């Protein structure tokens, strides 16, 4: 691996620093006044995604230096290493090959002697066969009734992708079937998910890469008890439970026949797994054909990322602007606002993708960074957010760059709805960039005592990402865009975007306390606060 100079010592970073004094003080109004074609010039289109990035606080020289920084940081080399199956996840010593999950069958990618593409397609074929049998009613439950309800049990990467994709592609889904997603170990999640379901028609997909996650196993055990209680026999489990995992031994120990297990590999990170067998619920919902279209969309963006010059490379441009906002404008959070109701779970999905990947404080060699890394991501579907927290984005003291996602056509055209929706996207981007001055307010006759309160400073960066219409293919390309943008940012920061030691910590911390909650007489040796909380819980739990 090439050793990189620390970020702040890279030449292009220092050049960016020296231009920042002038650029950082310039208002977006001025950027647009100086360059009347900026709105079309600073835009890009790839794989059905049009990105208008003109409302970012950069000029041509900034962009040139940002791309230089990507080069100097080894982005092209590291990208190629990822595609070649090198172990770029250094802290876990693993390859990172989610891109192989969507390579067409005609391709081959041999990693350490194994053609991973062939393996991927073997699993895809089994998934397609199973999904088709469930959808056609050929696969029946224990009493011979067809499956009407599918409940995915998983958490984190084994939940957020499936639930986001199901909601996003609901338009393409089987409307005579019910899909539910159980993740939280709070029993309410499971109880509410199944309270109106008929066990004879319900299939549980237990999704867990490790098959050792306490939340998922607890929910899966409760699901099994719920089913057996209703169907009267343990033997019913075989017709109502399938597993998605990398761990055959634990799947089998749980009591699921490995003939009903769909596998994947340790080179697929949880948050990069929605297009692996973890997408089984998605495939049952939308059907194999649409699932293959989703994969095509992912793959098309992979190819664009791999081969397009950096100047025209959507994920690279998206990433380097995000980096500029974080490192130079000091933005601590990023808003993701999809103006499409079907994408309502996209912000939650992207929160994991971005923050679990780039929320790190050491570089690949373990040294502490002396610069900020991954920002906080959050969001809500538009226009709902506009009636609440957009206040802070417009007039607060923090600058929040926002990705606004919009479509030219609605899947549910109805009266004026879509024009109203889209007019809000454009108007928000405009208001955030250009604001509203005191003079403009006076010209409009605003009373003097209101002026200070109503002024909007503007100069807030936004990206507008526009598609024609939300399809499985578009969704694949959009997610791949964010995956690669995260990767590019992580590469420049020099961090391992593919480990998650902070999340692993949560998995072990709670297990040591469980025993002390269950027995009322053990001595407590935690800090005084934890001891007091445990005592209070013990006193009141019954």
User: Considering 201, 215, 356, 483, which one is annotated as catalytic?
Assistant: 356
The 3-state DSSP class for residue 150 equals strand
**Binding track, positions 459-498, relative to ligand G6Q; x by CB under 6 A:** ----------------------------------------
Strands 241-245 and 261-263, by their bridges, are parallel
User: Could you tell me the smallest distance in angstroms from the CB atom of residue 424 to ligand G6Q?
Assistant: 33
Q: How far is CA 518 from the centre of its chain?
A: 36
Q: What is the DSSP string of 392-432?
A: HHHHSSS---EEEEEESS-SS--TTHHHHHHHHHHHHHHHH
Distance CA 6, CA 306 (A): 25
Residues in the chain: 542
User: Considering 112, 229, 387, 453, which one is annotated as catalytic?
Assistant: 387
The 3-state DSSP class for residue 312 equals helix
Strand partners, 115: 110
User: Could you tell me the smallest distance in angstroms from the CB atom of residue 241 to ligand G6Q?
Assistant: 16
Binding piece for ligand G6Q, criterion CB under 6 A, among 36-44, 156-164, 281-289, 306-314: 156-164
SS3 content of the chain, % helix, strand, coil (to 5): 55, 10, 35
If one asks whether residue 269 binds ligand G6Q (CB under 6 A), the answer comes out as yes
If one asks whether residue 358 binds ligand G6Q (CB under 6 A), the answer comes out as no
User: Could you tell me the smallest distance in angstroms from the CB atom of residue 213 to ligand G6Q?
Assistant: 3
If one asks whether residue 282 binds ligand G6Q (CB under 6 A), the answer comes out as no
The verdict on whether 541 is a catalytic residue reads no
> Dihedral through CA 487, CA 490, CA 495, CA 500, nearest 10?
-60
If one asks whether residue 313 binds ligand G6Q (CB under 6 A), the answer comes out as no
The verdict on whether 121 is a catalytic residue reads no
The size of the interface with ligand G6Q (CB under 6 A), counted in residues, is: 15
Binding piece for ligand G6Q, criterion CB under 6 A, among 170-178, 268-276, 290-298, 325-333: 268-276
Binding piece for ligand G6Q, criterion CB under 6 A, among 86-94, 111-119, 154-162, 479-487: 154-162
Q: Please, where are the H alpha helices in 267-313?
A: 280-286, 288-307
If one asks whether residue 218 binds ligand G6Q (CB under 6 A), the answer comes out as no
Q: Which is nearer to ligand G6Q, 156 or 297 (CB)?
A: 156
> Which position among 74, 85, 141, 156 is part of the footprint of ligand G6Q (CB under 6 A)?
156
Q: Which is nearer to ligand G6Q, 316 or 480 (CB)?
A: 480
If one asks whether residue 394 binds ligand G6Q (CB under 6 A), the answer comes out as no
User: Could you tell me the smallest distance in angstroms from the CB atom of residue 120 to ligand G6Q?
Assistant: 18
Residues in contact with 71: Cβ distance below 8 Å, sequence separation at least 6, in sequence order: 12, 310
> Which position among 74, 85, 263, 270 is part of the footprint of ligand G6Q (CB under 6 A)?
270
Q: Which is nearer to ligand G6Q, 177 or 503 (CB)?
A: 503
Q: Which is nearer to ligand G6Q, 414 or 505 (CB)?
A: 505
> Dihedral through CA 147, CA 148, CA 154, CA 158, nearest 10?
90
If one asks whether residue 500 binds ligand G6Q (CB under 6 A), the answer comes out as yes
Nearest residue by C-beta to ligand G6Q? Answer: 156
If one asks whether residue 299 binds ligand G6Q (CB under 6 A), the answer comes out as no
What's the per-residue H, E or C state across 7-75? HHHCHHHHHHHHHHHHHHHCCHHHHHHHCCCHHHHCEEEECCEEEECCCCCCCHHHHHHHHHHHHHCCH
The 3-state DSSP class for residue 91 equals coil
What's the per-residue H, E or C state across 192-217? HHHCCCCHHHEEEEEECCCCCCHHHH
The verdict on whether 387 is a catalytic residue reads yes
If one asks whether residue 210 binds ligand G6Q (CB under 6 A), the answer comes out as yes
Binding piece for ligand G6Q, criterion CB under 6 A, among 24-32, 90-98, 150-158, 397-405: 150-158
Q: Produce one character per residue of 210-243: b if its CB has 16 or more CB atoms within 10 Å, e if not.
A: ebebebbbebbebbbebbbebbeeeebbebbbbb
The 3-state DSSP class for residue 470 equals coil
If one asks whether residue 356 binds ligand G6Q (CB under 6 A), the answer comes out as yes
Cis upstream peptide for 105 (omega within 30°): no
> Which position among 69, 155, 163, 432 is part of the footprint of ligand G6Q (CB under 6 A)?
155
C-alpha triplet 57, 459, 50: angle, nearest 5°: 55
> Which position among 10, 102, 135, 209 is part of the footprint of ligand G6Q (CB under 6 A)?
209
> Which position among 85, 141, 157, 467 is part of the footprint of ligand G6Q (CB under 6 A)?
157
Q: Do 496 and 94 meet the contact criterion of CB atoms below 8 Å apart?
A: no
Q: How far is CA 14 from the centre of its chain?
A: 32
| Sign of the torsion formed by the C-alpha atoms of 195, 199, 201 and 206 | positive
Distance CA 465, CA 461 (A): 13
Q: Which is nearer to ligand G6Q, 167 or 356 (CB)?
A: 356
User: Could you tell me the smallest distance in angstroms from the CB atom of residue 55 to ligand G6Q?
Assistant: 32
**Residue 364 has which token pair?**
């690949």
User: Could you tell me the smallest distance in angstroms from the CB atom of residue 509 to ligand G6Q?
Assistant: 13
Q: Which is nearer to ligand G6Q, 57 or 98 (CB)?
A: 98
**Residue 124 has which token pair?**
């895809």
Q: Which is nearer to ligand G6Q, 252 or 410 (CB)?
A: 252
If one asks whether residue 163 binds ligand G6Q (CB under 6 A), the answer comes out as no
> Which position among 308, 376, 456, 503 is part of the footprint of ligand G6Q (CB under 6 A)?
503
If one asks whether residue 158 binds ligand G6Q (CB under 6 A), the answer comes out as yes
Binding piece for ligand G6Q, criterion CB under 6 A, among 11-19, 153-161, 297-305, 388-396: 153-161
> Which position among 98, 240, 271, 290 is part of the footprint of ligand G6Q (CB under 6 A)?
271
User: Could you tell me the smallest distance in angstroms from the CB atom of residue 268 to ligand G6Q?
Assistant: 9
Distance CA 486, CA 98 (A): 13
Q: Which residues bind ligand G6Q (CB under 6 A)?
A: 155-158, 208-210, 213, 216, 269-271, 356, 500, 503
| Positions marked catalytic | 356, 387, 507
């Amino acid at each position: 691996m090439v050793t990189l100079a620390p970020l702040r010592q890279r030449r292009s970073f220092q050049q960016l620093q020296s231009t920042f004094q002038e650029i950082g003080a310039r208002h977006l109004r001025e950027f647009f006044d100086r360059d009347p074609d900026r709105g079309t010039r600073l835009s890009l289109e790839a794989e059905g995604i049009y990105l208008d990035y003109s409302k970012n606080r950069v000029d041509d020289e900034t962009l040139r230096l940002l791309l230089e920084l990507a080069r100097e940081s080894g982005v092209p080399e590291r990208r190629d290493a990822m595609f070649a199956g090198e172990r770029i996840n250094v802290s876990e010593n693993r390859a990172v090959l989610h891109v192989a999950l969507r390579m067409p069958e005609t391709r081959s990618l041999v990693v350490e002697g194994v053609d991973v593409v062939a393996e991927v397609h073997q699993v895809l074929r089994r998934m397609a066969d199973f999904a088709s049998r469930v959808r056609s009613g050929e696969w029946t439950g224990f009493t011979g009734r067809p499956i009407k309800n599918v409940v995915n049990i998983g958490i984190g990467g084994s939940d957020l992708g499936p639930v986001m994709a199901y909601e996003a592609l609901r338009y393409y889904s089987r409307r005579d079937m019910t899909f539910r997603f159980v993740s939280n170990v709070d029993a309410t999640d499971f109880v509410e998910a199944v309270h109106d379901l008929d066990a004879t028609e319900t299939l549980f997909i237990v999704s867990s890469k490790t098959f050792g996650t306490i939340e998922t196993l607890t929910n899966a055990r409760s699901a099994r008890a719920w089913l057996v209680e209703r169907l009267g026999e343990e033997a019913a489990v075989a017709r109502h439970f399938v597993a998605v995992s990398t761990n055959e031994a634990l799947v089998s120990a749980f009591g699921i026949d490995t003939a009903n297990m769909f596998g994947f590999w340790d080179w697929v990170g949880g948050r990069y797994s929605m297009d692996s067998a973890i997408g089984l619920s998605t495939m049952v919902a939308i059907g194999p054909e649409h699932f293959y279209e989703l994969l095509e969309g992912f793959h098309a963006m992979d190819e664009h990322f791999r081969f397009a010059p950096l100047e025209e490379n959507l994920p690279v441009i998206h990433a380097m602007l995000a980096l500029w906002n974080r490192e130079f404008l000091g933005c601590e959070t990023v808003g993701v606002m999809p103006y499409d109701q079907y994408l309502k779970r996209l912000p939650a999905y992207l929160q994991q993708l971005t923050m679990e990947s780039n929320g790190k404080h050491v570089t690949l060699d373990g040294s502490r960074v002396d610069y900020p890394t991954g920002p906080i991501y959050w969001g809500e579907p538009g226009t709902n957010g506009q009636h609440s927290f957009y206040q802070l984005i417009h007039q607060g003291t923090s600058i929040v760059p926002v990705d606004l996602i919009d479509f030219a056509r609605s899947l549910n055209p109805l009266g004026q709805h879509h024009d109203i929706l889209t007019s809000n996207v454009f108007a928000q981007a405009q208001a955030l960039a250009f604001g509203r001055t005191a003079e403009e307010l006076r010209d409009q006759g605003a009373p003097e005592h209101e002026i200070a309160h109503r002024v909007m400073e503007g100069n807030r960066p936004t990206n507008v990402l526009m598609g024609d219409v939300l399809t499985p293919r578009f969704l694949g390309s959009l997610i791949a865009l964010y995956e690669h943008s995260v990767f590019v940012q992580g590469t420049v920061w020099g961090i391992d975007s593919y480990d998650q030691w902070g999340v692993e910590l949560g998995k072990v911390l709670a297990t040591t306390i469980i025993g002390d909650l269950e027995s009322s007489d053990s001595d407590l040796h935690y800090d005084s606060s934890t001891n007091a909380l445990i005592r209070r819980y013990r006193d009141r739990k019954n």
